[in-house]
Structure 1
Amino acid sequence: MTAFAALPLSPALLQGLESLEFADTTPIQAQALPAILDGRDLIAQAPTGSGKTIAFALGLLQRVDPQQIQTQALVLCPTRELADQVGKAIRRLAVGIPNLKLSLLCGGIPLGPQLASLAHAPHVVVGTPGRIQELLRKQALGLAGVRTLVLDEADRMLDMGFEEAIRDIVGKTPKTRQTLLFSATYPEAVRGLGRRMLRDAVEVTVGGESETPAIEQWFYEVDASQKPAALAGLLIEHRPESSVVFCNMRRDTEALVSELMRYGFSPLALHGDMEQRDRDEVLVKFANRSCNVLVASDVAARGLDVKDIGAVINYELPTDPDVYTHRIGRTARAGRSGLALSLCAPPEIPRALALEKLQGVELRWRRAPMAGKQVRNAPQAPMATLQIDAGRTDKLRPGDVMGALTGRAGLPAEAVGKIDVFATRAYVAVARAEADHAVAQLRDGGIKGRKFRVRKI
């Protein structure tokens, strides 16, 4: 472990690290940062939650000159959720760099505002390959000044069919750029990408492809028709504070949410067909503990940045063993322990045996607890979310919301949870028992003397 202060970082970046209360490096940061700061190309293999985002964010920000109005760093991510997470991390680190402009350019969002934002070139671009490619075709984005290119979760981008788009984008960046490739797994496709796009790259590995640190894993053989009852039974037996249930197909997420609601749970679905605002609300509610069961597809859950997920449940085993490793790693981020439970119909047993071979240890099997037709003690989320129809454009800050709730509304500070402020709306988590009272008080008393629409969602 190395102290960040011992690294050759600019005072502005040290200020950003201090504001985030980051003092010491994680293993991936300790191994990768010397090469990154030295300007070397890098291939890094590290599990989810290892701190890789901070590593490449520090490297690219160190090389950005805010006085030069051109795009100097490009980060490619497989999904908009991950891109949003990366963009937020870079912004937090750049708090001490004046006039730095970062643009988030992802598909699934109207193109018009993104085109307008590119009238003045951003210093840093974080985006998905498809949308970046589209903006390049429209000549709205220029990459001639890129000094640092980051391929984040390269294995997933290749799995999603982005190789051709990545090649096209990389071909429009200078050959003198620094290229940083990060991947949780290191299959031959990623090795080939690295050979073609990197020069004399330093290779860093933290953990192996099949490493599953401190995760208690259990498998349950049940017929497909019994899976909803078995899932409800597992949620009641283990009562995780929060859990992610993975489905292989996005259409199955909505169907499973309906099944769980019949048992008395209050789950939410997350999949790629949702509108961006709906996806944002689901992620906000899950992160702030207003929802304790998230039913997700793999692509939608990439970049899910929620600490202390109590359990990951595989409603179906994935066909690719590496995807299983990605999934269960979400319940053991940054070395924390976790719980992974997998339901296996008889046709899925060969997939379980493939996992057994990959991990090199015998899988542990149990009889699934089956819930009855009606569950009277389904665990409920401790918080509820209030939506306020005002945001950054209204000069609304988290402190304003906190002050209104703990002031005239009279809520104790411990009854107020996470506050998220977006451009035109804000969300605040409050203790479930206080939610109706908080809505009434905010509607009546307003926030800093201003009245906004407030509702419980």
Structure 2
Amino acid sequence: MTLDRFDQLALSVAMRDNLASLGYTTPTPVQSAALPPLLEGFDLIVQAQTGGGKTAAFGIGLLERLNPTLADTQSLVLCPTRELAEQVASALRRIARAIPNVKILALCGGVPVGPQIGSLEYGAQIVVGTPGRIDDLLRKGALKLDRLRALVLDEADRMLEMGFREQLSRVIAATPEHRQTLLFSATFPEQIEALSADIQREPRRITIAPEQRLETITQYKFEVDDKPSAVAALLHHYLYRDDPANAASTIVFCNTKRDCDELEQRLRSAGFSAASLHGDLDQRNRDQVLARFSNRSVLILIATDVASRGLDIKDLDAVINVDPALDPDIHLHRIGRTGRAGASGLALSLYTAREARRIEAIEARHGEIDRGPGEALRAEGRPAYAPMVTLDIDGGRKHKLRPGDIVGALTRDGALDQAQIGKIAVGEFASYVAVESKMAKRALVQIQEGRIKGRRFRARLLY
């Protein structure tokens, strides 16, 4: 069945109306291919890149097959990172607006387990979480999956790469044998094939070709000896040469945590606005780095593949591969973060003479990459400074804070104009607010010496 419109499916009227209100009119390729067999109850093994609409694909299916009159957990979605789990839960809540009395919980590590146990006492039809925390809640007896009807493994390859195989096995063992199992993965190494064979029953296989995005991405390769110097030169040549005030947001990929930290030090010492993201960061520091990059108080994010998976980063101008990806499909996943939604993107890949074979493997799989101009590696200039600074407030949703409350506190008595306030992210226990760099200290005083909803909150500036 070729699905051109959502109304071709036997969806409830409420679901169709809600999808229309959300702007879901024409299904994406993964939605068109996956929804019909999913709604029929088949197991699926789906290969699709991030950003193709797969959350809505399985979300619509889970919600249409849900019984909202039962408080039991009927669907479980497992994700490799807290960030992806929270994004999935948020997307499912938007899709579920058409269905009354549906409770969706995000259960992840990095936060206290007590409140999560309390939330589970009231029931949740859909649970979204990370394998470690779900395993922990099962062992404590706080979560029961004996009535589960559907299991989703989202970004399954990354969960295996991050060492979650043992936790996955225990979680899956706690689910009924007769369930629908949906496995989504950007790549299909042998581990994924083996996992599918162990947990699925005659799955329908769906592969969404990722090459459709490459036409919007300009790619160059550069053979170099000194990679940190080359990264700085490429930033000057391609991203900062015209107007540093409008500098681009860039993700730089390294293969190891150590390389991320060393490159961050080199770039920061040269005056660049950069921060690294990898598995050694605790959750609070990880949240801070992501908030700063998202709100443009950091312009360069240096990350490993595992740490960067599942990030919801929009309007990314460029990707720089400091190290060639170890798997050609990972290369495609990296560069596919730019050039989205019809916008143009830039992908620059560095390699040494010893790494030439990795580049050759990528080209054999995805096509030849043009060699970049030599002058790009000799570029010099003035680094771009971030236009914003992030204000970290020790208060979040658990304190009943909303973005409007924070805006009101910052603009009280004319301290700041609303135009000087950027993106606001309110988390469970902390909030991150972007303010113009020149107004950062005034914003800090405004929060520290003022009150929000009648109480004081501690705050600090993140540099």
Task: Please indicate, yes or no, whether the TM-score normalized by the shorter chain is above 0.5.
Answer: yes
Is it true that 1:149 corresponds to 2:151 in the alignment?
yes
Is it true that 1:238 corresponds to 2:238 in the alignment?
yes
Is it true that 1:381 corresponds to 2:386 in the alignment?
yes
The letter for the 1-side match of 2:413 is R
Give the Å deviation of 1:38. 2.7
Q: Which residue of 1 aligns with 2:208?
A: 206
Distance 1:210 1:352 in 2: 21
Please give the residue correspondences for 1:74-153 in structure 2 after superposition, counting only pairs within 5 Å: 74-153=76-155
Is it true that 1:197 corresponds to 2:202 in the alignment?
no
- Is the CA contact (8 Å cut-off) linking 2:251 and 2:300 kept in structure 1? yes
The letter for the 2-side match of 1:145 is R
Give the Å deviation of 1:335. 5.0
2:317 pairs with one of 304, 310, 323: 310
User: SS in structure 1 opposite 2:422?
Assistant: strand
Q: Which residue of 2 aligns with 1:434?
A: 439
Please give the residue correspondences for 1:304-383 in structure 2 after superposition, counting only pairs within 5 Å: 304-334=311-341, 336-367=343-374, 369-370=376-377, 377-383=382-388
Give the Å deviation of 1:355. 1.0
The one-character-per-residue Cα deviations of 1:51-84 (angstroms, maximum 9, x if unpaired) are 1111112221222333322211111222233222
Give the Å deviation of 1:407. 5.6
Pair 263,302 (structure 1): closer, same or farther in 2 beyond 3 Å: same
* Alignment gaps of 5+ in structure 1: none
Is it true that 1:68 corresponds to 2:89 in the alignment?
no
User: SS in structure 1 opposite 2:423?
Assistant: strand
The letter for the 2-side match of 1:352 is I
- Is the CA contact (8 Å cut-off) linking 1:81 and 1:300 kept in structure 2? no
Q: Which residue of 2 aligns with 1:53?
A: 55
- Is the CA contact (8 Å cut-off) linking 1:244 and 1:311 kept in structure 2? yes
Pair 414,21 (structure 1): closer, same or farther in 2 beyond 3 Å: farther
User: SS in structure 2 opposite 1:353?
Assistant: helix
Give the Å deviation of 1:380. 1.9
Distance 1:14 1:412 in 2: 40
Distance 2:68 2:12 in 1: 13
Q: Which residue of 1 aligns with 2:268?
A: 261
Distance 1:333 1:361 in 2: 21
The letter for the 2-side match of 1:329 is G
User: SS in structure 1 opposite 2:414?
Assistant: coil
Pair 69,295 (structure 1): closer, same or farther in 2 beyond 3 Å: same
The letter for the 2-side match of 1:24 is T
2:35 pairs with one of 33, 36, 39: 33
- Is the CA contact (8 Å cut-off) linking 2:219 and 2:369 kept in structure 1? no
Q: Which residue of 2 aligns with 1:299?
A: 306
The one-character-per-residue Cα deviations of 1:160-180 (angstroms, maximum 9, x if unpaired) are 444454344323322331221
The TM-score, its normalising length taken from structure 2, stands at 0.88
What percent of counterpart residues are identical? 50
Distance 2:18 2:414 in 1: 34
The one-character-per-residue Cα deviations of 1:133-187 (angstroms, maximum 9, x if unpaired) are 3433343322111111111122223334444543443233223312211122234
Give the Å deviation of 1:410. 5.7
Distance 1:192 1:257 in 2: 38
User: SS in structure 1 opposite 2:11?
Assistant: coil
Give the Å deviation of 1:404. 3.9
Give the Å deviation of 1:113. 4.3
The letter for the 2-side match of 1:283 is L
Distance 1:51 1:58 in 2: 11
Give the Å deviation of 1:294. 0.5
Pair 273,112 (structure 1): closer, same or farther in 2 beyond 3 Å: farther
The letter for the 2-side match of 1:315 is V
Distance 1:238 1:40 in 2: 47
Give the Å deviation of 1:31. 2.2
The letter for the 1-side match of 2:394 is D
Is it true that 1:402 corresponds to 2:407 in the alignment?
yes
The one-character-per-residue Cα deviations of 1:304-337 (angstroms, maximum 9, x if unpaired) are 1111111111111122222212211111345543
Pair 454,138 (structure 1): closer, same or farther in 2 beyond 3 Å: closer
Q: Which residue of 2 aligns with 1:393?
A: 398
Q: Which residue of 2 aligns with 1:228?
A: 228
Pair 5,418 (structure 1): closer, same or farther in 2 beyond 3 Å: farther
Give the Å deviation of 1:270. 0.8
- Is the CA contact (8 Å cut-off) linking 1:58 and 1:93 kept in structure 2? yes
* Alignment gaps of 5+ in structure 2: 240-246
The one-character-per-residue Cα deviations of 1:353-390 (angstroms, maximum 9, x if unpaired) are 11111113354344364578xx7621122222222232
Give the Å deviation of 1:423. 2.3
